[in-house]
Structure 1
Amino acid sequence: MSLPPQPLSPLDGRYRGAVGELGEHLSEAGLNRARVQVEIEWLIAQTDRGFFGTSPLDAEQKASLRQIVADFGQADIDELATLEATTRHDVKAVEYYVRRRLAERGLAELTHFACTSEDINNLSYAITVRDAVREVWLPKLTTVIEALAALAREHRDASMLSRTHGQPATPTTMGKELAVFAHRLRRIELQIQATEYLGKFSGATGTFSAHVVAVPDVSWPEVSREFVESLGLTWNPLTTQIESHDWQAELYGRVSHANRVLHNLATDIWTYISIGYFRQIPAPGATGSSTMPHKVNPIRFENAEANLELSSAVLDSLAATLVTSRLQRDLTDSSAQRNIGVGFGHSLLALDNIQRGLGEIDLDRDVLLADLDANWEVLGEAIQTVIRAEVVAGRSSIADPYALLKELTRGKRVGGEELAAFVSGLDIGDDAKQRLLALTPAGYIGLAAELVDALG
């Protein structure tokens, strides 16, 4: 017995609840609605200019046409599918769909006037990607950044042992480490917010050839610019049949960059959980392991890792391939762009998991302090640095401070009492000696807490 039709992608099945908002924009239906919008707006723009003796549509007529876009739903999706089954061409099906709704023959002929399919497609993709990024993906990224910033402020003074190369190193605070991720992501967020969404509207090879033959006395580049900008896009004056997709490559590269920073965050949080710095808050009724009842697994961060990798794989591929088109155009971009939603979907799912995961952990400050107390040798950096300053100031004659501390601490565990005895015997000024004797691993955090304020 065969199964009834099932979604092939988990984004449309298991994870639809987390990513479904993207379908409003980055789906076949979302793309077709945008195509209808572009066709209708182009028709209105032509009548506004009185092409071929037409009169501008009145406010009611324009509102009626625009309502077609606002009311676009399942019946329209089905109608377009039926039309495309005959035309074997998705944009031609959209043209016929719009023409059916225009009673006046002359007005109907203005539908898709002087357009190549890519005039409609490139603007439609720019609209749908722009709206998906601004209305769905960026708000989720902002939510994660705000959650990170809040945790950074909460734990600004929570001293912890650093681990450079996985080994005990100069202490920091958990707040400062989380603030680093929030700061990195904010910078990328600003870059993505500043994205230019480009559009072209210049005919079969980007030359306005048909336009000039049909209406010679019009400044077609100016008409094109005004129309593209009326859609909230940036006009690209020099293209082939297709808009060159450079803006897409730039955007997907930046989103992929954000993915990789988020991946770094996920692996670091996972590691902090594994060494006990963060406790996971069990969800009522949840199961961590099918055989080990005690388990609370960091699945939110593991799920995020996998989906960030998938997202970047898709977006990196799009960024690499969309900028190449043979001569004046080929169709490789057509299939590729249908996967834009897949790239953003996996990223959005990861963001959702990270947001949830950050809300399901609790910092165990006792574990942080115990770890610090077991690694007094990390004060070797402070001691040798102070000695060097004392040598420069003429208050010490120690020949090689670094070598002295290296001999004492490298590859060894040195306790607080041992270090105190060592410092007491140093040939340095009394003020410097007292500063070092008062120092503990938990107190050796420099300006870590204050640096969190850089988040604003």
Structure 2
Amino acid sequence: MDLSALTAISPADGRYRNQLQQLAEYFSEFALIRYRVRIEIEYFIALSSKKFFSLKPAQVKSLRDLYLSFTPERAQEIKNVERITNHDVKAVEYFIKKELDALKLSALKEWVHFGLTSQDINNTAIPLLWKESLENEYFPGISNLAMEIRKLATQWLNIPMLARTHGQPASPTRLGKEMMVFAERLDQQLRLMHEIPYSCKFGGATGNFNAHVVAFPNINWINFANTFCEDSLGLQRQQFTTQIEHYDYLAAHFDAMKRINTILIDYCRDIWTYISMDYFKQKIKKGEVGSSAMPHKVNPIDFENAEGNLGFANAIFSHLSEKLPVSRLQRDLTDSTVLRNLGVPFAHTILSFKSIEKGQTKLVLNESAIHEDLDNNWAVVAEAIQTILRRENYPQPYEALKDLTRGNAQITKENIHEFIGSLKISSKVKKELKAITPFNYTGVVQKF
């Protein structure tokens, strides 16, 4: 079968292609080839800046156009060469050399890939595509989602709500504050993630610039490589490497994304539970079906889909962060095939963001259900009453409230007020106690 959205093996390239196709700019085979061409070209230009040879401005522009105007057809040319070389990076080198012929720069062809090993290209191309995918897709996506959660928190700031600890009725809270819990957690983890550098390996066959030094021993190749990686690519060069990059910072990114995904799983489960408790209704879209058998159903599928995708992404992120930093001696090839899957957990993470955002737009606050739940749980003001009684030095207030409320599912406003009336305290304190309700016993109102 020909490859299409219907025949693709991966759902990221099939069922969800229309939501994720922009990620092909970073994680497809075409993208990896284009980034490799970009690294080779920029390295070639950097060598010219060190006066090994000279390039005119027009020639520099033409060279950069090779990757700026790169097309799938050009990528296929390289794949055709790869069928002969059986080496993907060498095929890129031959492609560029052929292009130098077309630019009348044939005399400079042996400066292409000068002194390098394939991992100098891969371990700069992949960190660069990873950096740009985060900057252009991931950070805008998660930041927008966190902002939308914060908006809901602000909108629902003053909605009192029964809290549940261990699944049991607990001291009331406010819906907005509970939403803000997740916005704060996301913000904190994003700040940590932004501190992680983007590193690369660029140092010859086994990281020592052997070929560079033997050819030009008087050149400070370390300074050259540091400047090239930082100024041309925006990457931090690892100073001591084997043939490959350590992947430690890349693994740190994966772990940071896992933590953020775990926070979102927690969020999805809470929203799912609130929907099941009827705290939220969901907007109905004409023509949609919630169940093939039960016509009445409006399922929280967006939050369920998000939870599933987040869990799948985390499983892959875990393998990536555990596997990539481990390589036998100076290098084995296990990182190569694994790295080609960077886009898989990334795609399922982005897909989950979209699902959550879609689900949030369907939420309709059902204040009557929230109000009813509070009104049915007057026992939760027992904490407030016993705390004021402690303040008044009343004997064993906790025990008195425990006897009244523990295990008693029938506590009502009348029960509470009858209990307060029986206490040997001043009328002023009794009035203070009777003013406490599940609706106003919500603690400090903290501004966001």
Name the residue aligned to 1:122. Answer: 123
Name the residue aligned to 2:414. Answer: 417
Q: 5 Å matches for 1:362-441?
A: 362-391=364-393, 396=394, 398=395, 400-413=396-409, 414-441=411-438
1:225 counterpart = 2:222:
no
**Secondary structure of the corresponding residue to residue 11 of structure 1:** coil
Partner Cα separation in structure 1 for residue 333 and residue 428 of structure 2? 75
CA deviations on 1:94-147 (whole Å, 9 max, x unpaired) are 111111110223311111001111100010001111111110111111111111
- RMSD value over aligned CA atoms? 1.1
Partner Cα separation in structure 1 for residue 290 and residue 29 of structure 2? 38
Moved more, 14-23 or 424-433: 424-433
CA deviations on 1:310-348 (whole Å, 9 max, x unpaired) are 000001110011111111011111111111100101111
Q: TM-score, normalised by structure 1?
A: 0.95
Stretches of structure 2 that go unaligned for 5 or more consecutive residues are none
Check whether the contact 1:43–1:110 (CA below 8 A) recurs between aligned residues. Answer: yes
1:99 counterpart = 2:97:
yes
**Secondary structure of the corresponding residue to residue 441 of structure 1:** coil
Moved more, 73-82 or 41-50: 73-82
Equivalent position amino acid for 1:95 in 2: E
Deviation (angstroms), 1:432? 3.4
CA deviations on 1:159-189 (whole Å, 9 max, x unpaired) are 1101101110111111000000011011112
1:296 counterpart = 2:298:
yes
Check whether the contact 1:280–1:361 (CA below 8 A) recurs between aligned residues. Answer: yes
Partner Cα separation in structure 1 for residue 74 and residue 428 of structure 2? 81
Name the residue aligned to 1:62. Answer: 60
Moved more, 74-83 or 352-361: 74-83
Stretches of structure 1 that go unaligned for 5 or more consecutive residues are none
CA deviations on 1:65-118 (whole Å, 9 max, x unpaired) are 111111111111211110111111111111111111102233111110011111
Deviation (angstroms), 1:417? 0.8
**Secondary structure of the corresponding residue to residue 162 of structure 1:** strand
Q: 5 Å matches for 1:23-422?
A: 23-51=24-52, 54-55=53-54, 57-103=55-101, 104-230=105-231, 231-391=233-393, 396=394, 398=395, 400-413=396-409, 414-422=411-419
Partner Cα separation in structure 2 for residue 333 and residue 433 of structure 1? 71
Partner Cα separation in structure 2 for residue 76 and residue 343 of structure 1? 28
Deviation (angstroms), 1:430? 4.2
Deviation (angstroms), 1:429? 4.4
Name the residue aligned to 1:443. Answer: 440
Equivalent position amino acid for 1:131 in 2: E
**Secondary structure of the corresponding residue to residue 154 of structure 2:** helix
**Secondary structure of the corresponding residue to residue 116 of structure 2:** coil
Q: Tell me the matched-pair count.
A: 440
Partner Cα separation in structure 1 for residue 25 and residue 268 of structure 2? 28
Q: TM-score, normalised by structure 2?
A: 0.96
Deviation (angstroms), 1:9? 0.3
Partner Cα separation in structure 1 for residue 214 and residue 68 of structure 2? 35
